[in-house]
Amino acid sequence: MNSEFTNYVELAGSHKMAPHGERREGIDKGMPITISVYVRPKEPLLGLILGTGTKKLATLARGRYKSKHGATKSDVKKITRFAHHAGLSILDIDEVQRRVELRGTISMMEQAFKVELNNFLSEKGILYRGRSGSIRIPAELTGVVEGVFGLDDRPIATPKFQVLKSALKNNVNEGKQNSFYPNQLAEIYNFPSGTTGKNQRIAIIELGGGYRAADITNYFSALGIAPPTVVGISVDGAINNPSTSDSADGEVMLDIEVAGATAPGSLLAVYFAPNTDKGFLDAINAAVHDKQNGADIVSISWGAPESAWTDQSLKVYNTAFQAAASLGVTVCAAAGDSGSSDGVTDGLAHVDFPSSSPYVLACGGTRLIAKGGKIQSETVWHESSTSATGGGVSEVFELPSYQEEVNVPVSVNSNKKGRGVPDLAAVADPATGYNVLVDGDRLVIGGTSAVAPLIAGLIARINEGRNKNAGFIHPELYRNLSVCRDITQGDNITTPGNKGYKAGAGWDACTGCGTPIGSALEKVLKG
């Protein structure tokens, strides 16, 4: 008798809590589902990027990345042998992404990974598949498998955008709207002149919603800017699916219009994926490792508190961002819109992931008043407990070397040192927000969601001027804080226990290094 794959062990970091306050529904055990199994690299990237923080990162060519850090054929063979043993079909093998996609019925998956899957109905009426406890794998695969994604398909992230409402407090200019078009902000923040992001590819990750070509044409026509080339790309079956302006379409159009107006020469590749742990990760990897034309910059406006993720998710996602950095891809992510609580009501401070990854350029938010293209005042965005910039100290990721000299405070929760969030900031307060067109409706939208594509546009223009990708800019940014305008007023304290952070001179856990002076940042990165 073949004793292979009979001794099972827990997959480290895979433990997941059962959904709370939601009722269980029946589930069709014969329904086929697809999962992603991520395996270890030939050689780990550990230590390759962060180092001492004093050296520039030597980026890898894509072919060299695959040969050194892709999956080994022997590990892939182990997964395929396991799949055959469990009766699962091989849907796809990607050695660069180190991913093997398997397909089988729910019953087969439960048996293969020793889990129980059930349907749950959320309070918002969303039916999804969930699990609790840990995934188990054969002992022979210990160390080979880094993560299994797709067994549970509960929604994982929220978009970080907010539509301006008339009742917001502290209305600027005595109640008059003080909003901006993205190209105006490019001038206010001194983006490099004479550049458009030509020949750059900005990948935009979306976990819902869609765009309409007519909106893009009409919006850019009104600005007198040639519409950017926009390409929708399907990941895991998700598609461009526009509906109404009060949906996730607001996020999609905000991202496209901000990136397109600030870097109109760039190609915008919009990766649509399901809002699940698997979908989000697959979209990031698809963007970074695109076989046709890999991204130069990735813009992410979706996220969730670190506490909402499993350890395997945090590890495997972070490895994906590390891979991006090693390939010269800059990843920009929104830092959150609910202040120091990040929307969690446990009285503790939380930071949003993926912005808390040390390989991601975390984007915080400000409140901006400008006149005649000149900044009059800029402070931390903090309208209310549910409308304020995210930021703080990670409870998961250690203090990176590039932040050792900027006095990142210890966590207000644990007094531990950790990765400080954000790195940069720009206007995000809806009361001083962005003029956009969504499903034919003209809206003013804010949130740190807008900052991620704004900074992505800046990096695209810097890349064009350098004729080379800036990639992982953190060491240069933190050695040259003068390339940012320091924001020293305000706080992001939104927890019931008043745990949070205040702005001050230098780096702070509200606006990071400050708001970019684009031309100054370009000069440093060129140097």
Residues carrying an active site annotation: 251, 255, 449
**Closest C-alpha among 384, 341, 339 to residue 365:** 339
What number of other Cβ atoms are within 10 A of residue 119's Cβ? 16
* Phi, psi for 421 (deg, rounded to 5): -125, 140
Q: Which candidate, 515, 511, 451, places its Cα nearest to that of 160?
A: 451
Helices and strands, number each (H, E), in the chain: 11, 29
Closest Cα partner for 93 from 113, 108, 79? Answer: 79
- The C-alpha atoms of residue 344 and residue 499 are separated, in whole angstroms, by 12
| Integer angstrom CA distances of residue 255 from 233, 262, 300, 431 | 15, 11, 9, 18
Strand partners of residue 24: 120
CA distances from 302 to 60, 143, 264 (A): 28, 30, 23
CA distance 371 to 14: 51
Give one DSSP letter per residue of 400-443, joined into a string. PGGGTTTTPPPPTTT-----EE-SEEEE--GGG-EEEEETTEEE
- Say whether the peptide bond before residue 422 is cis (omega within 30 degrees of 0): yes
In whole angstroms, give the CA distance from residue 42 to residue 54. Answer: 27
